[in-house]
Copies of this chain bind each other. A is one copy, B any other.
Amino acid sequence: MTELLYLEDLAAGQTFATRTATVTADAIKAFAAQFDPQPFHLDDAAASESRFGRLIASGWHTGAISMRLLVEGEMRIAGGLIGLGGDLAWPRPTYPGDTLRVESEILEIRVSESKPDRGVVTVRNRTLNQHGDVVQLAIVKILVPRRPPP
């Protein structure tokens, strides 16, 4: 069991890893049927005629898989991983069979002025495929509690 991290445990430059997850064509189609029903996410034949040339995962699917990896990864924040928002980019698609992982780096730490029991931490989460290509770059702000007084 990884120890839970409080604001005092974090510093700019720290990095955290996750396990990997392999994305199947069936998973890509199932997510798309529920949340992003566009031909290039749903159907191999239609995808081959799209600008992508083959089936690709919804960006929201890549994001959701990344979240799963983060929740189970090394960066165990006390109180959970609570994102306030951030900047998101999908520089390359996720394809069937891709094996994804997330590398996180702490960029900035700010104690809240209005609520001194917590802080806002800026984290860069890069989701990488098996070739080391970035399929999602997320610079996010997360809420991190300070360690309670003993």
Which residues of A line the B interface, CB within 8 A? 31, 34-40, 50-51, 58-60, 63-65, 67-68, 71-72, 79-90, 137
Contacts and interface: CB of A to CB of B under 8 A. Distances in A.
Given A34-B64, A50-B80, A60-B67, 5 more contacts: A35-B65, A35-B67, A37-B71, A38-B80, A86-B89
Contacts of A36: 64, 67-68, 71
A84 B89 contact: yes
A20 B12 CA distance: 42
A146 to B, nearest CB: 14
B90 A83 contact: yes
The 9 residue pairs across chains A and B that have the minimum distance between CB atoms? A85-B89, A35-B64, A60-B64, A38-B80, A35-B68, A36-B67, A85-B88, A60-B67, A88-B88
